[in-house]
Structure 1
């Protein structure tokens, strides 16, 4: 992962680099390290050969050691010039460095190598050993058993490492750009939603005042004002959904838990949709009849009522005239289950997994809304530590939405 602080500094999660660089070190036999944009080593030295393991036991790569200082010098050169560099240690071991770049900016350096170009000698190993605090014959005993890395092979390994680095950086560039676009979209959604709420509220107030203060209007005008108020109310609901969705997307939605009677929450939710059910001659049954008034939970009553109201309103919307809706509550050992069961149009099997997605608008029988209600409902239920699911036998067989909430110590 990569991010940018307000002061312009690039912040990198260097743990992301450990796995791919370790795999490269094991496959190539080279020693690999990663440095940040201040030439400080963040990962490594990663190695797999016996010679490298022996060198790692010396003071070569320790803080202030000759190898650590040499790698830091190479890192500084790459950071200053943005280009790959190479050098040798004791005129025997080859070390190279290449830049890490994202969006055209160098944010780190990969230092790799510590390999012999050809077969070494006891004298060369003795010279290196004196520099790092090892015994010359011990180093020679390991070096003579390993194959050197020729110029051709080193070029291939460098090309492979460059491909690995570039593909990783381009992949993370794409992720960073996608995150930026998502943040911009969420901010736009939140801003537009809030800006729309004020004029809608003013328009609704003016229409209400017209109905109250102008009783002598022609019937056609009164009817038009009533229709306009209905449309404004629908638009207000959609704006509220947009605001809730934007809060969900940006992680700003929260709940305020308190001990509440589940029966009161359910009763308030039912009372808001009763007139809609009555208009379609839909039977609305609650089981048990007291709305499970004795069940106490820790919840945000307004948010939980919003969830149940949304499920009931959807059930009314997608249930034909003369249909039936049942709101059923049952208490388990540690949970309470709320079910909304309707005899409506049902949901096809391949659509069930998408029901709780954002902007998932079911077209059939739905002339309003943005398809955000169930998305918001799922998030509210999850904030309560619960789950919400849906089942349906298919088109024409109705649907059952089930909310499962933990019982709080109210």
Structure 2
């Protein structure tokens, strides 16, 4: 009865299924396999798979998969191959293989499961052709428009022309990215946040022109964005990472000093990358503040500088409540809270659980893109409060789950790393 049900299921599948024993004989081919490969039921009774599949050179990739299983005992997780069927059609197949073992270790059959993905591949090829055509056709008109805009520039409309050119540059970058997609190249700037900042500034400027009555308020917004998220290139110099940490700790406000936290610095080797010292200090201040606000009293903040291969790592780690795996993925996006917003209470900065807007981390990522270093987050959510809606009392002595700072540290924590590669300049 069970075998009858299994056979009925296999024969009703929309995917093709072929079973070949260890001697190369085709022992089963379901109706979908016959239809996809273009065989008749009579042809499928061939004594050996080579008589069915090795007729056309286009089938070499498919036969390599069979050979891996029959001769080398290797299953294929997934592969896409071309196949010339007995009816002459050249189709695209998605193929997986597994083994159907019998009592004897040397006597097993290979199960070949495949799907006809010809239509999907045709659509993909058509999409690539369209993208390639659009990419090519956009290049010339955009270049002409850019040249015309340059000729329209006057001292009176410099700001207006600059805005147009910035957006034309974005269109040109889109054209380049589309071309890279078609050619299968990685998009180096696909996750860059800097263009979004530029667009925000352009929108604020445009709104000020359309609504003159609101221009003073919009100017305040623009100034805030420029102050926090843009960099003009002045004040660049070699900056000591160790000195930056020292200044940040000394500058902690009274609210932070009132917290019962231990600070530990581990500096094995200092480094002096070339960047804006004030900007780096702002980044480190933000990371320390984030650590303090998420670590209960009795916990520890670790600041470390180390050399790993050819990179310098500046690490700000804490023994706090940690961040859920889902939240870590969005932590650098800005305006993202690692805990539910409803859980925040009205607290001052540096107090436990004080809820920021996530702008410090977003700004860190933007500055990293500007200067060529990278920022990473690794976190383990406290095992005792795994959900974002779970609460911590903010003091290890009041925690019902742990009895010491060591147990608290073992239950969760977060580590932010700034990684300065060897390619960054170390002198002006």
Q: Assess same fold via TM > 0.5.
A: no
Give the alignment's TM-score, normalised by structure 2.
0.39
Kindly name which structure, 1 or 2, has the bigger radius of gyration based on alpha carbons.
1
